[in-house]
Amino acid sequence: MKLKAFLILILLIQALNATKIKDITNVIGVRDNQLIGYGLVVGLNGTGDGSSSEFTRQAISSMLQSVNVKVDSKRVKSKNVAAVMVTAKLPAFSRHGDRLDVEISSIGDAKSIVGGTLILTPLKAVDGEVYALAQGTIDKGFSEGKKSKKETTVKVFDAALVEKEVNFDISSKNTIRLSLEKSDFAVAAKIQNRLNSSLGASIARAIDARTIELIRPSNMSMVEFLARVNETDIRHVGVDRVVIDQRSGTVVAGLNVVVEPVIITHGDLTLKIVSDAEVLTNDKNSISIKNSVVNFAKGEVTVANIARVLQKLGAKPSDIISVMKTIKRAGGISAKLEII
């Protein structure tokens, strides 16, 4: 019984450390593409660009000329229009008619673009080709606006339609490459050995610390082959992640993401994270704040602690991000830092 219980424990530990290959790799060539466009938001109730925004007047004049209305840009004086940049991500394998979320940002002196309508805006990729068209009403009920007095950056869901597909014929390929999210010779070798043992000898070859080349077996399609590869487990302890929302300042981190001793200064605020041996014996608190200096006892310090203290001190999202980035660069945080 003891041996059986021991074997079960070993299997559970292995399961907890198991990671699917798709969680730590990307298929080279299969990625999102960034799109950008310049457009106009109309129908604003006096919250658009002022007369000093010359590029807005020129854009209005050009737009009117496209519908056979000729107006000198110098005579345009409308505060109900705002010039905006529109951005979107075109996911891999997007098809004609798929809808995309877009982010609309004012580039003039508009007070708010909420309540207006984005008129037809071509979205181009780096090659200059139009891949999607965006248009729609910017309404609070169907958008995610930046929480500020001036709502000049708004995310609108399903506001663009895909008009052109990115050609990537994966089915005809016999070889393809995986890219590890983080360079690691040991992990690359683990993936190579695991795939060769489970799917057939010599189908995988680690080229370097980040790249694994795969050869499709003759009895599988490339889609079926990649599906099997992605779902294959390897023993791997994943890297902790700290995710920060740059708009709201929300920090999501594991409970045990610790911060090593470090001292940083940001504006008028100083954070001091010291080792247990350096904590004064007469200081009974693990966290103390005095004269804009925050002292942390090493044994109690996690990313969550720091985020809570910064939020209590009224730090802005940009300040929290700056502090976390600085601690990361100083080597205080080993977890992967992601800003969304």
**pLDDT (tens digit per residue) in 183-240:** 889 999 999 999 999 887 789 999 999 999 999 998 899 999 999 999 998 876 666 7
Does the pLDDT value for residue 2 go beyond 50? no
One-letter identity of residue 329:
R
One-letter identity of residue 251:
V
Listed by start position, the domains of the chain span: 33-162, 169-235, 241-339
CB neighbours of residue 329 within 10 Å: 12
At residue 210, φ and ψ (nearest 5 deg) are -135, -15
Both tokens of 50, joined, read: 């002022």
Q: Cα separation of 18 and 10, whole Å? A: 12
Q: Cα separation of 240 and 304, whole Å? A: 13
As beta bridge partners, residue 268 has: none
Q: Cα separation of 54 and 292, whole Å? A: 45
H/E element, 105: strand 99-106
Q: pTM value?
A: 0.64
Please name which of 196, 212, 203 lies closest in space to residue 174, comparing C-alpha atoms. Answer: 203
- The confidence score (pLDDT) of residue 75 equals 63
Percent of the chain residues past pLDDT 70, beyond the cut: 77
H/E element, 192: helix 185-199
Q: Phi/psi zone of residue 128: left (φ > 0), alpha (ψ -120 to 50 degrees), beta? A: left
What are the residues whose beta carbons fall under 8 Å from the beta carbon of 171, sequence distance 6 or more? 221, 222, 223
Both tokens of 234, joined, read: 């390897």
Does the pLDDT value for residue 6 go beyond 80? no
As beta bridge partners, residue 143 has: 156
